[in-house]
Amino acid sequence: MEYANSLIDRILTANGVTEINIPVSREAGAKPMHVYELHVSALTELYAYALEEERRPPPLAVSTPITYTPTDVYYLTQLVINNLEEVYRDSGGYIDFSMNSHSGKSPADVYQELFELYYRLNLLNGKSKVSPNEVYSHIFRAKEDLQFSLLTLSKHLADSDEIKKRLLVTAIYGMHPDGSTMTPLEAGKKPGDVIAKSITIRGKLNLLRKRNKLPEIPRPKLEEFGAAKPIDAFLQTQFIIAELNLLKIPMDISSTTNSAKAVSGKTPSDVYQEMKHIEYMIDRLIQAL
């Protein structure tokens, strides 16, 4: 990933982009599954760039419920590197540097490098920053994924578990069997509110992991973010998507997560509302299991 960042730095410099404020990941507990998920989004950015420049795009990866290993991540890293090398060479660049050797690195170290790469890929695609639109498109992926999981689980239940079936299915629509519904959209939310909600969601996902005899995933503390930005919220969506996929394994669900779909006009309040729905469904899942 360090080598990939060197490549894209040179590509951006050739395109006149030199001043970059690199974001910092607060995810000290990142695992291979999280690194894999962020690769999926990085490859999507490379794919979009290739289409815009009428280049041959890289293969797209998908998010699936498997236990990812560093080897799985390495395959995606090679896809990223091969594509960036092609772009660099085709733009007249000469690769006169190589990969450095390292030791003692963890998935969290790789995650920071990959986070920086994703940010630079956004710049390559003409986006000055990660917007609420992009965050929304990814949290919507997570919501759709969880909706399908709840529907699948309801079908797995015996007919005698009618109450649990209703609890799961109605949650998909933000409803309770008693007729009550989720609270409506709350205006004026900020990225910090989204971060706070995502940390709460991840705590409840950890509860589900514990019930399924899986180790907890460390969460960052809200105060570590300072003035939170949409890109910080984006990173939380990637963690939530990855963890929802891993939880499918003990629940015997094999569906893949949909790709992100472009949206416009979204605000942090819209993102917050989708996260509220995710939390609502997780609460129902905890209640039904």
Q: Which parts of 44-135 are beta strand (E)?
A: none
Confidence check: pLDDT of 66 > 90 = no
> What is d(CA 103, CA 208) in angstroms, rounded to the nearest whole number?
34
Domain ranges of the chain: 1-125, 132-288
> What is d(CA 20, CA 119) in angstroms, rounded to the nearest whole number?
9
Residue bearing the bigger pLDDT, 97 or 208: 208
| CA-only gyration radius of the chain, Å | 20
Confidence check: pLDDT of 226 > 90 = no
Quick: pLDDT tens for 176-195. Answer: 998 899 999 999 999 999 99
Going by pLDDT thresholds of 50, 70 and 90, the confidence category of residue 24 is confident
| Average pLDDT taken over every residue of the chain | 93
Closest CA relative to residue 121, chosen from 49, 205, 24: 49
Predicted local distance difference test score (pLDDT) of residue 23? 83
Averaged pLDDT for residues 32-41:
94
* From 22-26, 172-176, 183-187, the region with the lowest mean pLDDT: 22-26
Helices (DSSP H) in 99-229: which residue ranges? 107-124, 132-156, 162-172, 191-211
